[in-house]
Amino acid sequence: MSTPSRPSNQRGSAVVDFVLVVVLLVPLFLGLLQVALVLHVRNSLASAAADGARLAATVGSGPSDGVARTRAQIAESVGDRYVTGVEPRRVLVDGAPAVEIVVHAKVPALGLGGPALSFDVSGRAVEERSP
């Protein structure tokens, strides 16, 4: 039994279908990767800021120690290329003195180049008091 042959007007239609699907799926996939990159960087910076604030709030440490810890954590996790500044602040959290570390960052919104998305993340910790 022989297989029926395609009519001559449908030859190459699989290639056209493939191209149409790829044109839609590739930008969608790249967009999802970019969102994942931005979220990863934001979460890594927030974690580093919180860790730096906890160190700055301990007895015997100060805001400069917290900034140094934050910068070291950032360098280990995502690198320094996204960070534009790290700033310590003294704040009140429910009336208690605390330290806040704010990280200013810019992440490319379109691939590894293109316009940048700016955001700030922060971490807070209530200061310990010596007995």
At 85 the pLDDT is: 95
Residues of the chain with pLDDT below 50 are: none
At 31 the pLDDT is: 86
At 10 the pLDDT is: 67
At 5 the pLDDT is: 62
Give the per-residue SS3 of the chain.
Answer: CCCCCCCHHHCCHHHHHHHHHHHHHHHHHHHHHHHHHHHHHHHHHHHHHHHHHHHHCCCCCCHHHHHHHHHHHHHHHCCHHHEEEEEEEEEEECCEEEEEEEEEEEEEEECCEEEEEEEEEEEEEECCCCC
At 57 the pLDDT is: 94
At 7 the pLDDT is: 61
At 111 the pLDDT is: 66
At 97 the pLDDT is: 94
At 81 the pLDDT is: 87
